Amino acid sequence: MRLVIARCSVDYEGRLSAHLPEAVRLIMVKADGCVAIHADGGAYKPLNWMNAPNRLVEHDDHWTVTNPKGEQLIIHLFEKLNDVSQELGLDPGLTKDGVEAHLQELLAADPSAIAQDLVLIRREFPTDIGPVDLLCRDSSGQAVAVEIKRRGDIDGVEQLVRYLERLERDPKLRGIRGVFVAQIIKPQAKVLAEARGLTWVEVNYEVLRGTRRQDLTLF
């Protein structure tokens, strides 16, 4: 992990254009190549970022970050205030709470609760940035990655997107699609999931446990 505090401006060139005027910001460069620009506010969400894989080229007065689609972040450095690097090592990943872990167990036992034609290949399928909850295949043979949360928000959607980027590199899984599953999914997360080409599904924990009957409707 590399953390650079600098007075900088940032330009994004790609599907649209965006500009961050000169200010003091934190530039975070992760070991996987992800680059994110943060302000001293707004909690966890970066002002702009470029997910891995990408290529970072450093010049004296600016950095250029380019992804395989040709999109670019150009970070103009006016004054570098701090520049530190620290090896964090392998992260064990997020420990799920009891409900979330049990949801994964129940859906692994019956993935048809997500979609009728899903067949489980493996739970906790590994990637180099952590395991995706379920790897399945549908009736057409297409690989399907499923990420499960108790409450679905934007972070969970972005986590699944990162997993899909890694899984897509495997020739046996190429063309993989993603399904985001939670008991409750926030409206913003639903919009983002659809924009990222993902499917989302809300499930009822009590019904999955068999402690409550699912109400049947004709339509």
Per residue in 82-92, pLDDT tens? 999 998 877 66
Q: Could you tell me if 14 and 24 are in contact, meaning their C-beta atoms sit under 8 angstroms apart? A: no
Q: Could you tell me if 35 and 66 are in contact, meaning their C-beta atoms sit under 8 angstroms apart? A: no
Q: Which helix (H) or strand (E) holds 44?
A: none
96 falls in which pLDDT band (50, 70, 90)?
A: low
Helix (H, G, I), strand (E, B) or coil at 20: strand
CA angle 141, 144, 146 (to 5 degrees): 155
Q: What is the pLDDT of residue 99?
A: 73
Average pLDDT of the segment spanning 163-175 = 94
212 falls in which pLDDT band (50, 70, 90)?
A: very low
Residue 101 pLDDT more than 80?
A: yes
Start-end of CATH 3.40.1350.10 domains in the chain:
98-209
Average pLDDT of the segment spanning 2-14 = 95
Residue 215 pLDDT more than 60?
A: no
Residues 151-178 as b or e (16 or more Cβ within 10 Å = b):
ebeeebbbbbbbbbebbeeeeebeebeb
What are the start-end ranges of the H helices in the chain?
98-109, 154-167, 187-195, 205-209
Fold of 2-85: Protein Yojf; Chain: A; (2.70.180)
- 22-26, 62-66, 144-148, 209-213: segment of lowest average pLDDT: 209-213
Residue 40 pLDDT more than 80?
A: yes
- The verdict on whether omega for the bond into residue 53 sits within 30 degrees of 0, i.e. cis, is yes
Please give the mean pLDDT across all residues of the chain.
Answer: 89
Q: What is the pLDDT of residue 43?
A: 61
CA angle 124, 186, 135 (to 5 degrees): 20
Q: What is the pLDDT of residue 93?
A: 61
The 8-class DSSP code of residue 95 comes to P
CA separation, residue 114 to residues 61, 110, 131, 154, 202 (Å): 50, 8, 19, 20, 8
Average pLDDT of the segment spanning 19-37 = 93
Q: Could you tell me if 35 and 29 are in contact, meaning their C-beta atoms sit under 8 angstroms apart? A: yes
Listed in sequence order, the residues at least 6 apart from 15 whose beta carbon sits closer than 8 Å to its beta carbon are 71
- Provide, rounded to the nearest whole percent, the portion of the chain with pLDDT above 90: 71
Start-end of CATH 2.70.180.20 domains in the chain:
2-85
CATH code of the domain occupying 98-209 = 3.40.1350.10
* pTM as predicted: 0.57
Residue 31 pLDDT more than 90?
A: no
